Amino acid sequence: MVKVVHQLRELRQLLGALGPTSFVPTMGNLHEGHLDLVERAATFSQPTVVSIFVNPLQFAPHEDFNAYPRTRDADLAKLEAKNVDIAFVPLVSEIYPEAQSCFIQPADSLGSILEGAARPGFFTGVATVVLKLFNMVRPARAIFGAKDLQQVRVVEAMCRQLALDIEIVVNPTSRAADGLALSSRNGYLNPAERAEAPRLFRVLREMARAVGEGDTRFLQLEHRASAELIKHGWAVDYISVRRLIDLEPPSLIDRESLAILGAAKLGNTRLIDNVEVDRRR
Ligand SMILES: Nc1ncnc2c1ncn2[C@@H]1O[C@H](COP(=O)(O)OP(=O)(O)OP(=O)(O)O)[C@@H](O)[C@H]1O
Ligand SMILES: CC(C)(CO)[C@@H](O)C(=O)[O-]
Ligand code: BAL
């Protein structure tokens, strides 16, 4: 039976009896992508803790904090079916008990680019809540999805820079049959937008193929991909070729591992995705 816990006090009591755990932080509205993270957690053969918390700190005032889907009972049934040990479902007041809080601000070189440029303050909100959840759960490891690649890099850097003894495990992006990365925000799409949405993955995959085959005209490729999306009604935040390791722009001389990252809006729905480059030349 999954144990549903709302308060830190109870969480600590339960954890004391469990020993080292694997932890999957989420904002709920669980889909197969989340459940794949839970399955990955189970491969470590230690108890699994999943948190469900829609973190107000990572939403700007004009963003979708209030509209964000909250499907608690369905989420808990899915965690029960996956044999999760603890579902930690705190109230906002449990995570932020004081009116003012200190924050974890990622280095600008990582926290203020790409998603951080499009959503100022976003990674301060993410890093702060992730550190807080880590301190509450004190897991041996935490599992994150590659769909949010920059979030993974921010969390890895935080663990490195603040000497946290937590292994960060990255699980591949789970996709629908047509390639669209699974995401809670896909639920905002109307049928016509849902049919259009896989184009983001397709243009990123096409760019990754071109770069993998040796095309180094990155700016031209980025412009072409953006134009293709704009032509089909998207508003593009960025499409960018980056070094996989630190998301810096690549140099033309070194043969670094690369990824193509993109974020764009279809109607009112903002989607992100990324594709690693398989370099053949
Ligand atoms: N399609 C996916 N594949 C792999 N991991 C995923 C996928 N979607 C979400 N995750 C991971 O699940 C964890 C919790 O993410 P979150 O609850 O924000 O879900 P989401 O579907 O990404 O929602 P949103 O639409 O808000 O971005 C994160 O580590 C995230 O990277
Ligand atoms: C890591 C996270 C749970 C922090 O709120 C969130 O950013 C998410 O769901 O990806
Ligand atoms: N999955 C990332 C969390 C967010 O967009 O707020």
Tens of pLDDT, residues 17-70:
999 999 999 999 999 999 999 999 999 999 999 999 999 999 999 999 999 999
Residue spans of the domains in the chain: they are: 3-171, 184-276
Ligand 3 site, residue 173, Cβ cutoff 6 A: no
Of 196, 198, 207, 194, give the one whose Cα is nearest residue 238.
Answer: 207
* CA–CA distance, 33 with 41 (Å, rounded to integer): 13
Percent of the chain with pLDDT over 70: 100
Helix, strand or coil for residue 54? coil
Nearest atom within ligand 3 for CA of residue 122:
6
Q: What is the pLDDT of residues 37-51, one digit of tens each?
A: 999 999 999 999 999
Q: Return the pLDDT at 40.
A: 98
3-state secondary structure 91-135: CHHHHCCCCCCCCCCCCHHHHCCCHHHHCCCHHHHHHHHHHHHHH
Of 260, 263, 264, 262, give the one whose Cα is nearest residue 275.
Answer: 260
Known binding residue 219? Answer is: no
CATH (one of 3.40.50.620, 3.20.20.140, 3.10.129.10, 1.10.10.10) for 3-171:
3.40.50.620
Ligand 2 site, residue 25, Cβ cutoff 6 A: yes
Domain 184-276 class in CATH? alpha beta
Q: Which residues have CB under 6 Å of ligand 1?
A: 26-27, 33-34, 37, 144-145, 147-148, 171, 173-174, 181-185
Q: Return the pLDDT at 206.
A: 98
Nearest atom within ligand 1 for CA of residue 185:
25
Q: What is the pLDDT of residues 85-120, one digit of tens each?
A: 999 999 999 999 999 989 999 999 999 999 999 999
CB 238 within 8 A of CB 270: no
Give the pLDDT band of residue 125 (cuts 50, 70, 90).
Answer: very high
Q: Return the pLDDT at 26.
A: 98
Q: How long, in residues, is the chain?
A: 281
CB atoms within 10 A of CB 160: 10
